[in-house]
Amino acid sequence: MSDSTALTVRKDTTVAYLLWLGGFLGLAGLHRIYLGRTLSGVLWLLTGGFCFIGQLVDLIFMPRMVKDSEEGRGW
């Protein structure tokens, strides 16, 4: 096994969408934490997903966020 071999953790898009629904219960940002974007996930929790506007944007970009997370490009 070489040093350049990276372990990839599969993230499930369905799980991410289910966690996104937590925004309706006041738990916005759980999907971001699941995808490895901890800082922005906490920010979403504290601001209600930027007054739910950020939550709606995430709804559209969720497949891309999951792909980026699997490739290690989350922030």
Tens digit of pLDDT per residue, the chain (75 long)?
A: 444 455 667 899 999 999 999 999 999 999 999 999 999 999 999 999 999 999 999 999 999 999 999 888 866
For residue 56, give the DSSP letter. H
The CA-based dihedral angle spanning residues 49, 55, 56, 61, taken in that order and rounded to the nearest 10 degrees:
140
Q: What is the pLDDT of residue 9?
A: 75
Encoding tokens for residue 73? 């490009």
What number of other Cβ atoms are within 10 A of residue 2's Cβ? 4
Distance CA 63, CA 58 (A): 9
Query: Which residues make Cβ contacts (< 8 Å) with residue 44, sequence separation at least 6?
Result: 23, 28, 29, 32, 50, 54, 55
Q: Domain spans of the chain?
A: 13-67
